[in-house]
């Protein structure tokens, strides 16, 4: 028969309530007593009942993590890091996928709200106003998006886009295309703003192509547009699009980087396995996952016991600091000098 809380209390010589506090609010228990209780619990193989503990503390020790597309290689390192950080803090993570659908995203937040202590929204497709609205139902930390008044963990894709454009300018490119991401994407907007400014500053012409699906198929689908545009370099919304574009350009008889240079964003594992190896902007996805968990648990620890809804997500905590993590350009083999006039293969 599994050990019970009474068995632990008897073995450690304390009241049942002390055992309960040891697991639900350890900071309220004398350190020596806490060590003794935990040692007895370990010896007896006791595991606290999370459902019962939730009834007492008002906290489930569960976190929801909602991602835009779990099949995108950008997300697994973030998910893995978030789960590891949560486990270290004695929390479990429920992962859900929206398939880039803002309506599904909203439904998932509502479905998870009563089962978790908070939700991490990663690359959300909902509008800012809707994110603000659902944050009144359950504490929310937003990843890879800036929403005023809410805690956010962002990756500086603007800085990354500037670095990519400056790299291409340094190679002599003056006709550059930017492949946009999905409609409503904060990352796509930041990249467009920064890339446009960097291109203007370098005397280059920037052609905007998009919005597009942020997939390998989406990148391949615009290869013909890239060929017709006469550009000699492309910055893609993400690595998957860049890889798809390289495949599409190859099918059209264009070589990378001899005819067209290509830069991606994210530095997914595939970027190091393609031929040519992909020049890309590395994004700190694992750090973002860990940071977001810490921010969410800080929200939860600040909330009154059993608080839910607006009481759990309002007040000073709605202006929690927003964290910006740095990106870095990784130069590999998919970028090279601008081709000589008449030899770029694009018909320019």
Q: What is the pLDDT of residues 75-94, one digit of tens each?
A: 999 999 999 999 998 899 99
Q: In the predicted model, is pLDDT for residue 275 greater than 90?
A: yes
Q: In the predicted model, is pLDDT for residue 298 greater than 50?
A: yes
Q: Which pTM was predicted?
A: 0.81
For every residue of 80-148, DSSP letters joined together read HHHHHHHHHTT-EEEEEE-TT-HHHHHHHHHHHTTTSS-EEEES--S-HHHHHHHTTTS-EEEESS--T
Q: What is the mean pLDDT of residues 110-124?
A: 94
Tokens for 231?
């550009």
Sheet containing strand 328-330, strands side by side: 205-209, 175-179, 233-236, 261-266, 279-282, 328-330
Q: In the predicted model, is pLDDT for residue 312 greater than 50?
A: no
Q: In the predicted model, is pLDDT for residue 311 greater than 50?
A: no
Query: From CA 65, how far away is CA 288, in angstroms rounded?
Result: 13
Q: With bands split at pLDDT 50, 70 and 90, how would you rate the model's confidence at 310?
A: very low
| % of the chain surpassing 70 pLDDT | 89
- Phi, psi angle pair for 87, to nearest 5°: -60, -40
Q: What was the pLDDT predicted at 316? A: 42
Number of H helices, E strands in the chain: 14, 12
| % of the chain surpassing 90 pLDDT | 75
Put residue 345 in one of left, alpha, beta given phi > 0 → left and psi -120 to 50 → alpha: left
**7-11, 202-206, 313-317: least confidently modelled range:** 313-317
State the burial class of residue 347 (Cβ atoms within 10 Å of its Cβ: 0-12, 13-18, 19+): exposed
Containing 239, the helix (H) or strand (E) segment is helix 239-251
All domains of the chain in start order, with CATH: 3-23+33-55 (1.10.260.40), 60-153+283-300+319-326 (3.40.50.2300), 155-281 (3.40.50.2300)
What is the chain's Cα-based Rg? 25
Q: What is the mean pLDDT of residues 102-121?
A: 95
Strands 328-330, 279-282: pairing is: antiparallel
Tokens for 333?
């083999």
CB 206 within 8 A of CB 182: no
**81-85, 86-90, 96-100, 304-308: least confidently modelled range:** 304-308
**Mean per-residue pLDDT of the chain:** 89
């Amino acid at each position: 028969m599994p050990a019970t809380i009474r068995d632990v209390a008897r073995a450690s010589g304390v009241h049942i309530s002390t055992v309960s506090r040891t697991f639900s609010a350890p900071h309220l228990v004398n350190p020596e007593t806490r060590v003794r209780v935990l040692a007895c619990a370990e010896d007896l193989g006791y595991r606290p009942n999370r459902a019962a503990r939730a009834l007492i503390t008002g906290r489930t020790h569960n976190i929801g993590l909602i991602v835009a597309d779990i099949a995108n290689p950008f997300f697994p390192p973030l998910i893995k890091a978030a789960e590891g950080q949560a486990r270290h803090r004695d929390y479990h993570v429920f992962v859900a996928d929206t398939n880039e659908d803002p309506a599904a995203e909203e439904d998932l937040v509502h479905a998870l709200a009563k089962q978790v202590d908070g939700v991490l929204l990663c690359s959300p497709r909902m509008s800012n106003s809707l994110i603000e609205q659902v944050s009144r139902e359950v504490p929310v930390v937003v990843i890879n998006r800036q929403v005023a008044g809410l805690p956010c963990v962002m990756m500086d894709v603007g800085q990354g886009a500037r670095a990519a454009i400056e790299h291409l300018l340094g190679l002599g490119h003056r006709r550059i295309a930017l492949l946009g991401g999905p409609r409503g994407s904060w990352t796509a907007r930041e990249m467009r703003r920064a890339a446009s400014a960097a291109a203007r500053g370098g005397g280059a012409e920037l052609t905007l192509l998009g919005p597009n699906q942020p997939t390998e198929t989406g990148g391949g689908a615009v290869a013909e547009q890239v060929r017709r545009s006469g550009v000699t370099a492309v910055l893609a919304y993400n690595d998957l699009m860049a890889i798809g574009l390289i495949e599409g350009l190859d099918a059209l008889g264009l070589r990378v980087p001899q005819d067209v240079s290509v830069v991606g964003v994210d530095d997914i594992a595939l970027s190091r396995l393609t031929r040519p190896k992909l020049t890309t902007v590395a994004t700190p996805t694992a750090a973002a996952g860990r940071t977001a968990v810490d921010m969410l648990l800080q929200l939860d620890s600040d909330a009154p016991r059993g608080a839910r809804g607006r009481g759990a997500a309002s007040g000073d905590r709605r202006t929690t600091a927003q964290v910006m993590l740095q990106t870095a350009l990784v130069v590999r083999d998919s970028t090279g000098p601008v081709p000589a006039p008449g030899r770029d293969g694009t018909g320019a």
